[in-house]
């Protein structure tokens, strides 16, 4: 059984709605993150709840058609729904574990962990790892472009003098996300869009675009 079964969705309309809703949630997360340097917990929880719900419905629908959802085989709607739930759970745990490690080493913020884990509940463990790698590469590229542009516009800046008051901390010291200079939600949205188009190209009827 492949990591991403084909068909993954019961029909094309379901596929487009599934992908469109996930991307809409990630665009909202990216917009808020760029403006406020935070992904609201309510948005992450909503994304997680919808991801689990969509996969349960997807599994039940596929099971009722005699198709396999993920690992449990084709044994009707109830087994399909359970398989969809397991798919979402495995994705959530994989995404949470991967980004929790990145949070420990200071590579991302707590909000990034939540929104990535929630996104992984939609796409499962296999695709979530690809999205993590791709979004990290995008983050590095975007950060490099941003720093390069700032350097060209402002030039090398003089070092900031230390404050006489040792109790006053620099703004970057208070927020590691600001020190990183780039939010993770935007690269996550872009990486997820690319992954959805590639992995679900058959379900979305985009195969002709790759020939």
Question: Distance (Å, rounded) from C-alpha 191 to C-alpha 136?
Answer: 9
Beta strands in 102-198 (DSSP E): none
Give the mean pLDDT of the chain.
85
Q: Quick check: helix, strand or coil at residue 129? A: helix
pTM for the structure as a whole: 0.83
3-state secondary structure of 106: coil
**Whole-number percent of the chain with pLDDT over 90:** 63
**Residue 163: C-alpha distances to residues 33, 168, 179 (Å):** 30, 7, 18
Give the CA distances from residue 86 to residues 53, 125, 134, 153, in Å, rounded to whole numbers and listed in that order: 12, 10, 24, 50
Q: What pLDDT shows up at residue 177?
A: 43
Nearest to 118, CA basis, from 139, 96, 85, 102: 96
Q: How far apart are CA 108 and CA 136, in angstroms?
A: 10
Inter-residue contact 1 to 68 (CB < 8 Å): yes
Give residue-wise pLDDT tens across range 174-207. 344 444 456 889 999 999 999 999 999 999 999 7
Residue 195 has what pLDDT?
96
> Which DSSP category does 155 fall into?
-
Residue with tokens 């941003």: 146
Separation between Cα atoms, residue 64 and residue 71, nearest integer Å: 16
């Amino acid at each position: 059984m492949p990591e991403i079964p084909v068909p993954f969705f019961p029909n094309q309309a379901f596929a487009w709605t599934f992908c469109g809703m996930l991307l809409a949630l990630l665009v909202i997360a990216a917009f808020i993150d760029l403006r406020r340097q935070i992904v609201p917990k309510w948005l992450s929880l909503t994304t997680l709840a919808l991801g689990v719900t969509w996969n349960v419905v997807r599994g039940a629908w596929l099971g009722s058609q005699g198709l396999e959802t993920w690992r449990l085989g084709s044994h009707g709607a109830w087994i399909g729904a359970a398989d969809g739930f397991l798919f979402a759970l495995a994705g959530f745990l994989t995404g949470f574990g991967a980004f929790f490690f990145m949070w420990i080493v200071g590579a991302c913020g707590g909000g990034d962990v939540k929104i990535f884990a929630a996104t992984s509940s939609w796409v499962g463990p296999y695709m979530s790892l690809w999205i993590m790698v791709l979004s990290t590469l995008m983050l590095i590229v975007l950060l490099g472009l941003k720093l390069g542009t700032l350097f060209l516009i402002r030039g090398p800046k003089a070092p900031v003098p230390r404050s006489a008051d040792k109790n006053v901390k620099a703004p970057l010291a208070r927020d590691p996300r600001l020190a990183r200079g780039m939010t993770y939600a935007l690269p996550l949205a872009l990486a997820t869009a690319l992954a959805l188009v590639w992995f679900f190209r058959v379900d979305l009827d985009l195969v002709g675009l790759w020939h």
